[in-house]
Amino acid sequence: MSTLDLRTGVTSAPAFVSAAARFGVIEKPDLAYTPAVARETEHLHEKVRDFIPAIEWAAYAPYVHAINRLKKERNAVILAHNYQTPDIFHCVADIVGDSLQLARDATKVDAEIIIQCGVHFMAETSKLLNPDKTVLIPDAKAGCSLSESITGAEVRLLKERYPGVPVVTYVNTSAEVKAETDICCTSSNVLSVIESLDSDTVLCIPDEYLAMNVARQTNKKILTWKGHCEVHERFTAAELLAYKEANPGIEIIGHPECHPDVIAVCDFSGSTSGMINYVKDKRPDRVLLVTECSMASNIQAEVQGVDFVKPCNLCPHMKRITLPKILDSLLNMTEEVLVDPAIADRARLAVERMVNLKQ
């Protein structure tokens, strides 16, 4: 709450109080792999046994045990993107999904504290949708090449160049960019968002390949920006055709952040959730996911009888999130994600329009 000085008539903003000061700091627990810890985490190890052998589980289990205990003590919920490693995705996360699913579920969270296991723009989105909650990210340096490819100032220049053209901005952007946007989108709803706009021309930014791929599915003119995902832009059509030749009958499913030439040789293209659902529903004998490598492991832990061929392109930003850093967030209430209120109010509108859009 702001305060008014009756002598001067000047209203002052309240002093910032850190999350650590608000909630307190907890001493680091003993991280020994005791028989009790082994028993209490055994059911979780069963989920990831194919990726974390028993001899290595002794190093993971104490962190998993401590995190699951502390998040209840803190009244915290852990949101994890599909690209998180299996130990996070299957063993400590409360809510998992793609960017759209996490954005929607963030609005339904009752906990006081949200710990975002993903990249920074995802944590900002959670904060936009939960301005009164404390949002933490285990590593504030977990960025995104797409988010860093465009600034709010550049969006304003685009709006000057194309007056009246609605701006659809990929959710993989900063709050500053979202604040200059008419509506956000994700890879799973970009077509629905574009088709919902009463305009023959749409700016779809910053992912050039996503925009080019959706342009093939609509009669609207799509204006693009040269932003790319550093994971997905590394895949090539020639690489995938070589996989097909070496693995007859393999099904290739790709993420629309890939180049259109890559998508053209895929059997299916969709968001991370769409790709997961395809594998679960179709149960192909052998499949190659053209996306971040950890997702294949996460699906493999849940789907039996599917052989995954893994071209292992890892996102260096997603991999900044680790169990030790999640534990540190819970203990020390770091790193807190804050958004300037002047930016947040406008950015929130663009995200809420997306979340509330009828699919």
172 in a known ligand binding site: yes
Contact residues for 192 (Cβ-Cβ < 8 A; gap 6+): 357, 359
CA–CA distance, 45 with 111 (Å, rounded to integer): 26
Phi, psi of 227 (to 5 degrees): -105, 145
229 in a known ligand binding site: yes
14 in a known ligand binding site: no
CA–CA distance, 31 with 58 (Å, rounded to integer): 10
Confirm if 224 and 163 have CB atoms less than 8 A apart: no
257 in a known ligand binding site: yes
81 in a known ligand binding site: yes
Half-sphere exposure of 292 (CA within 13 A, CB side): 24
218 in a known ligand binding site: no
138 in a known ligand binding site: no
Quote the crossing angle between the two packed helices 323-332 and 54-74, to the nearest 10°.
Answer: 20
279 in a known ligand binding site: no
187 in a known ligand binding site: yes
DSSP 168-232: EEESSS-HHHHTT-SEEE-TTTHHHHHHTSS-SEEEEESBHHHHHHHHTT-SSEEE---B--TTG
Coil, helix or strand for 150?
coil
256 in a known ligand binding site: yes
Confirm if 342 and 322 have CB atoms less than 8 A apart: no
Q: In this structure, what DSSP letter does residue 59 have? A: H
255 in a known ligand binding site: yes
Enclosing H/E stretch for 151: none
DSSP 240-284: HHHHHHHSTT-EEEE-TTS-HHHHHT-SEE--HHHHHHHHHHH--
Contact residues for 274 (Cβ-Cβ < 8 A; gap 6+): 188, 268
Q: Which residues, listed in sequence order, are joined to residue 203 by a DSSP beta bridge?
A: 167, 223
CA–CA distance, 219 with 204 (Å, rounded to integer): 14
Residues belonging to the binding site for iminosuccinate are: 81, 99, 170-172, 187, 255-257, 272
Q: Which residues are annotated as a binding site?
A: 81, 99, 144, 170-172, 187, 229, 255-257, 272, 315
- Binding-site entries for [4Fe-4S] cluster: 144, 229, 315
